[in-house]
Amino acid sequence: MQKLFFQPTSDTTFTNKQGDVYTVKANTKAAEKCKYSYKHELLLSVKLEGSATTYGTASTGTVSKFSEELLLTNLKKAKVEDPTLPKEQVDDMNFIKESVELKPDILKMSELKWKY
């Protein structure tokens, strides 16, 4: 079992520690919990047990670094923007971060292996 915490940024979105944005799908338990946690200034908690995903709220916790897809959400990875790095390196870093979207669904390989 893995328990994760996220920061709600609106009634339909929440973020992890890196700034990746998760958007909940409408009319789901995830949307209900995200809206409630945003309105009451709570953290959104996500419990992963095997293939089951449970959404809830939490008053305490540390925002997670978890950056993989979650059930009932769409994930948009944060762009790397660092003025001290050369533009080519920033472009390469963003390509690696977004490369998971290019992975074919039929390919049975972890996202981490696919990226690197």
Residue 76 CA to residue 22 CA, distance in Å, equals 6
Instruction: Give bridge partners of residue 49 from the DSSP assignment.
Output: 52
The Cα 23–Cα 11 span in angstroms is: 9
Q: What pLDDT was estimated at residue 33?
A: 92
Give per-residue pLDDT as tens, 2-60. 899 999 989 888 988 878 888 888 898 889 999 999 999 999 999 988 888 899 999 98
Burial of 11 (0-12, 13-18, 19+ CB in 10 A): middle
Using the predicted structure, report yes or no on whether residue 74 has a pLDDT greater than 80. Answer: no
Chain center to CA of 84: 26
The model carries a pTM of 0.64
Which has more pLDDT, 82 or 87? 87
Residue type, 71: L
